[in-house]
Amino acid sequence: MEQENVKKGFFFGIIGTILGGFNPIIANSRPCVIDAYLFSAMTVVVQAIIFFPLMLIESKRIKSNFAHDLISSEEMERHLYGYKKNIPLIIFLGLSFGFCFVLFFLGYQLAGAINGTLVLKTTIFFSILFDWIILRKKLSLTQLIFSFVLFFGLFLAVTQGSFNIIELNIGVVIMLLVSAIWMFSHALSKPMLDREEISSLKLVCIRNFISAIFLFSTYFIFYPLENMNLLINPINLFWGLLMGGIYGFGLYLWYKSMQNISVSKATIIVSGNLIVTAIFATLVLGEIFSYYHLIGTILVITSIVIIVNPFKK
């Protein structure tokens, strides 16, 4: 049974990794008339729609477990309504992730698919950093050393060996900011997830609904009202549905993978989306995957493997 779960975990992880590798390809292939702000709003709406029925199924399963005396009434109340204790935090998460999606698409547009994906691998560094700062988790010397190696590989790739930080592409800086905000938000959400006051599925669903409301309601501050006519165009709708669908299902498969294998193994698997992105960015977008990118990718993936599984005595 355990071996079967491992197989499922790897299967979900690999499919999710392949889907995730297409995120930057779709983002940078969209019609140029769709700005990053509107594209973000479309993406989070689709994700919310994907996760809403999954959230309902999960709630139904919890009620069924209570009906069959598998969980107590206190546990049922906590699983179903515990999120109400964390509404201010959940609203903050919805706003921060909505803002991050705008930066996400803008960063890919400026940095390119390959460089943008490489930069997002710094999430592992920001994850252990904020776990240390906020959650007081220990940080090993090995993790610190290979965090440095990760950034060395990253800057080797994005600067093509020059290491000229002054002329660093602004898109790279934006993607670093995205990584930091994402992991800061994840660190804040971990305690309520650990207390089982909200599930990952419910958090993603509610978070995306809040992001959608935030993005659509503030869109008119930065862009003309007429731009909403873009949503009527079937081609534009297709790209929004495609982006939200690929991102949403990829995220769902990531969660399914972690249900069957450890987070560290799932993290290692998903780091492979760099390879998928590099192949299709070269074939579809015409980007050049240089020797510096190759060496940088090897250093980054190796660092991730060691950071999530630090050497033990």
Give the chain's domain count.
1
Within a domain: residue 117?
Answer: yes
Span 88-92, mean pLDDT?
96
User: For residue 290, is it within any domain?
Assistant: yes
How does residue 313 score in pLDDT terms, banded at 50, 70 and 90? very low
In a domain, 48, yes or no: yes
Which residue range(s) make up the domain with 14?
A: 2-308
- In this structure, is residue 59 part of a structural domain? yes
DSSP the chain: -HHHHHHHHHHHHHHHHHHHHTHHHHHHHS-TTS-HHHHHHHHHHHHHHHHHHHHHHHHHHHHHHHHTTSS-HHHHHHHHHGGGGGHHHHHHHHHHHHHHHHHHHHHHHHH-HHHHHHHHTTHHHHHHHHHHHTS-----HHHHHHHHHHHHHHHHHHTTT---GGG--HHHHHHHHHHHHHHHHHHHHHHHHHTTSS-HHHHHHHHHHHHHHHHHHHHHHHS-GGGGGGGGSHHHHHHHHHHHHHHHHHHHHHHHHHHHS-HHHHHHHHTTHHHHHHHHHHHHS-----HHHHHHHHHHHHHHHHHHS----
pLDDT at 62 over 60: yes
User: At 167, is the pLDDT very low, low, confident or very high (cuts 50, 70, 90)?
Assistant: confident
Q: Quick check: is 231 in a domain?
A: yes
Q: What percent of the chain clears pLDDT 70, i.e. is strictly above it?
A: 97
- pLDDT value at position 311? 52
In a domain, 279, yes or no: yes
- pLDDT above 50: residue 94: yes
Average pLDDT of the chain to the nearest whole number: 91
Residue 166 included in any domain: yes
Average pLDDT over residues 32-61: 95
- Residue 313 belongs to some domain of the structure: no
Asked if pLDDT for residue 141 goes beyond 70, the answer is yes
- Mean pLDDT over residues 140-158, rounded? 95
- Please report the pLDDT score of residue 4 as a whole number: 60
